[in-house]
Amino acid sequence: MAKRSGKDQPVVGVDLGGTKILAAVVAADGALLGQAKKKTKADKGPLDVLGRMATTIGDAIEDAGLARKDIAAIGVGSPGPLDPESGIVVVAPNLGWKNVNVKAHLEGEFHIPTFIENDVNVGTLGEHRLGAGQGVSDLVGIFVGTGIGGGIILDGRLYQGFNKTAGEIGHMVIVDEGPQCGCGNRGCLEAVASRSAISRMIREALDKGKKSLITDLIGKSASQIKSQALAEALRQGDKVVTEALQKAAYYLGVAVAGVINFLGPEMIILGGGVVEAMEDFYLAEVRKTVVDFAFPNAAQGVRIVAARLGDNAGVLGAAVVARIRLEQEESAAA
Amino acid sequence: MAKRSGKDQPVVGVDLGGTKILAAVVAADGALLGQAKKKTKADKGPLDVLGRMATTIGDAIEDAGLARKDIAAIGVGSPGPLDPESGIVVVAPNLGWKNVNVKAHLEGEFHIPTFIENDVNVGTLGEHRLGAGQGVSDLVGIFVGTGIGGGIILDGRLYQGFNKTAGEIGHMVIVDEGPQCGCGNRGCLEAVASRSAISRMIREALDKGKKSLITDLIGKSASQIKSQALAEALRQGDKVVTEALQKAAYYLGVAVAGVINFLGPEMIILGGGVVEAMEDFYLAEVRKTVVDFAFPNAAQGVRIVAARLGDNAGVLGAAVVARIRLEQEESAAA
């Protein structure tokens, strides 16, 4: 019998978010074998969060009825920027982190190879291996939430670029001299199409005295309107919300068309909380805008689809990261 | 002694332009062994142009003191869109061509493998193998002329995308609702940063009654101002021309910053008639804008450089195409 390789063993995927930590034990075929969840409690400091991550991982392994020795690797999806080589999260504003070595801490705890990757790349890799992008060689994942991030798969692998920063589609300018972006520039895609941008457009309409259902759903003061509230107002045909969403989806479509003209991938995967709450609307609006803005011969046959992994995207993607890195290390050692 | 392979033999590179046909015999090390040139005379029809191409190729081989049997392959850079597989130029508006099979015609004439590629990819491949991008794994070439085109090298190879159309950076929108573009959309990079856009900006300033040296250099009616006239007016400190060029270079810089944020290549090569006529100005303006618009960690160490092959870019690039395709065919056959 062949020696059992790490390739066949389950791995743990961890989704480190600003409010909660999710962990899941994932089989080689992508099946979820066990899960656990804890609050992040970032205010208690990095060491405390790392401890809670370790507990969550342990709980997920137990939930799967397995022992630590059964786990081949741990993958962690984290806000970035981060350094996948050293395993250090360089800066994570919503955690209040600077230079936190996640890899060293978890390897010290579990004695299992541990890998980290930024959450957008994790989302893209997850969709590529287990979600909407299976079998596709070249794709771009775009995730719309509070901000907008992206990941690029070329020739079946994550494309990271010269400084390992590739994928920041949220910070391509599409409206020169447009609205202020969190990055300091103006008119980036993120400044006109993210949930923050949609919230801003709706607030501006309300400030002008326009009426909207959204005030009943969220109150007038909310600076970030939740995706579910946007979806509900859209469903009810609210004019203010619909116009803001159409504008945001149009800008997203313009950016997608630009990516198709410039890079020409086989597939564009749209995900993130905003898109997932209004999938049909977003797909229709983006596809329509792409017809207007991409060259027909560049767009021909290019699939624009919704992400599939939903709430499990983080843990499944992190598990994919763990498995890919393990494969790379095994093939490098062979 | 090893059998002499096509790899060591000279190839012919052909630059098919709207006004002239250039051909050069190029050695394996990139040395120019012989050259020839003829007018295109596109108005006489495709067959006539193909005949003149064949004559130019023959003249270049003779100029090199070689015979047809010494030539391993022919590469042709042509306006596109075209199909590199079949060797057909699908549409070339400035030649008045539709579905012209360049490959079949030249192979029928010379009995030498012939390959075609669009002129922007040819320019990028030439710079990568013989010019500014030698030894660089991942780069983007951007060529500013009447229009704006681009080519992408990833992992040392031309990246063509799903529909073999990749590189159309000129048709990414950076000014939503901006000036009309030749492609039918508004606010594409080409509509705000090409020579046509610069000419338009200058015309608009003149129409408003502003004074400029450019009227002495070209007359008031020229719709396309030549790059050399722009460079001369810039050198003399003409305000109208300088402002138009600064704006165009700023937009180019915004697009380059977007490419750095999104794709993150190691090098950006700026070429084409406009850039080449004012290299220092363009490099300085684009680099300045990139500092403002790209993430510092994404832009760190990324080189923004000028194309090096100049007037020979077309024939040298086409020779590179011939050599690469030959290598691919030989390795596929091996």
Interface test with A, best of B163, B177, B251, B303 (most A CBs within 10 A): B163
Cβ–Cβ of B173/A257 closer than 8 Å? yes
Cβ–Cβ of A185/B292 closer than 8 Å? yes
Interface of B with A in 231-250 (CB under 8 A): none
Cβ–Cβ of B165/A295 closer than 8 Å? yes
Cis peptide, bond prior to residue A81, ω within 30 of zero: yes
- Alpha-carbon distance B297 to nearest alpha carbon in chain A (angstroms): 7
pLDDT of residue A331: 86
Average pLDDT, chain A: 94
- Alpha-carbon distance B186 to nearest alpha carbon in chain A (angstroms): 9
Contacts of A203 (CB under 8 A, 6+ apart): A223
pLDDT of residue B236: 97
pLDDT of residue B222: 66
Q: Are A245 and A278 in contact (CB under 8 A)?
A: yes
Q: pTM to 2 decimals?
A: 0.93
pLDDT of residue B263: 98
Searching chain A, which residue's CA lies closest to the CA of residue B149?
A262
pLDDT of residue A8: 87
- Alpha-carbon distance A110 to nearest alpha carbon in chain B (angstroms): 32
> For residues A269 and B9, what is the distance between their CA atoms, to the nearest angstrom?
46
- Alpha-carbon distance A92 to nearest alpha carbon in chain B (angstroms): 15
Residue A220 has pLDDT above 80, yes or no: no
pLDDT of residue A70: 97
> For residues A181 and A258, what is the distance between their CA atoms, to the nearest angstrom?
19
> For residues B142 and A292, what is the distance between their CA atoms, to the nearest angstrom?
24
Tell me the per-residue pLDDT of A268-312, one tens digit each, with 9 for 90 and over. Answer: 999 999 999 999 999 999 999 999 999 999 999 999 999 999 989
pLDDT of residue B231: 97
Angle (nearest 5°) at CA A175 between A172 and A176: 90
The half-sphere exposure of B331 on its side-chain side, counting CA atoms within 13 A, is 7
Residue A296, chain B, CB below 8 Å: the answer is no
- Alpha-carbon distance A49 to nearest alpha carbon in chain B (angstroms): 26
Residue A169 has pLDDT above 60, yes or no: yes
> For residues A322 and A314, what is the distance between their CA atoms, to the nearest angstrom?
12
| Residue A137 binned pLDDT confidence (cut-offs 50, 70, 90) | very high
> For residues B16 and A227, what is the distance between their CA atoms, to the nearest angstrom?
54
pLDDT, mean of residues A196-224: 88
pLDDT of residue B334: 75
Amino acid code (one letter) for B212: S
Interface test with B, best of A143, A163, A181 (most B CBs within 10 A): A163
Residue B221, chain A, CB below 8 Å: the answer is no
- Alpha-carbon distance B14 to nearest alpha carbon in chain A (angstroms): 26
Tell me the per-residue pLDDT of A316-327, one tens digit each, with 9 for 90 and over. Answer: 999 999 999 999
SS (H, E, C) chain B: CCCCCHHHCCEEEEEECCCEEEEEEECCCCCEEEEEEEECCHHHCHHHHHHHHHHHHHHHHHHCCCCHHHCCCEEEEECCCEECCCCEEEEECCCCEEEEEHHHHHHHHHCCCEEEEEHHHHHHHHHHHHCCCCCCCCEEEEEECCCEEEEEEECCEECCCCCCCCCCHHHCECECCCCECCCCCECEHHHHHCHHHHHHHHHHHHHCCCCCCHHHHHCCCCCCCCHHHHHHHHHCCCHHHHHHHHHHHHHHHHHHHHHHHHCCCCEEEEECHHHHHCHHHHHHHHHHHHHHHCCHHHHCCCEEEECCCHHHHHHHHHHHHHHHHHHHHHHHHC
Cβ–Cβ of A166/B266 closer than 8 Å? no
**Cα separation values, B84 from A133, B80, B141, Å:** 28, 10, 19
Percent of chain B with pLDDT over 90: 88
Residue A3 has pLDDT above 60, yes or no: no
Cis peptide, bond prior to residue A93, ω within 30 of zero: no
Cβ–Cβ of A162/B259 closer than 8 Å? no
Residue B176, chain A, CB below 8 Å: the answer is yes
Chain A residues in contact with B171 (beta carbon < 8 A): 258, 261-262, 295
Residue B295, chain A, CB below 8 Å: the answer is yes
- Alpha-carbon distance B279 to nearest alpha carbon in chain A (angstroms): 24
Of B163, B178, B263, the CB nearest to A301: B163
Searching chain A, which residue's CA lies closest to the CA of residue B176?
A175
> For residues A308 and B11, what is the distance between their CA atoms, to the nearest angstrom?
50
pLDDT, mean of residues A41-60: 97
pLDDT of residue A5: 58
Residue A174, chain B, CB below 8 Å: the answer is yes
Residue A223 has pLDDT above 90, yes or no: no
Residue A231 has pLDDT above 50, yes or no: yes
Identify the segments of chain B with pLDDT beneath 70.
1-6, 220-222
The pairing of strands B303-306 and A74-78 is unpaired
pLDDT of residue A1: 38
Chain B residues in contact with A124 (beta carbon < 8 A): none
Of B162, B266, B302, the CB nearest to A265: B162
pLDDT of residue A34: 98
Interface of A with B in 2-61 (CB under 8 A): none
Angle separating helix axes A313-333 and A119-130, nearest 10 degrees: 80
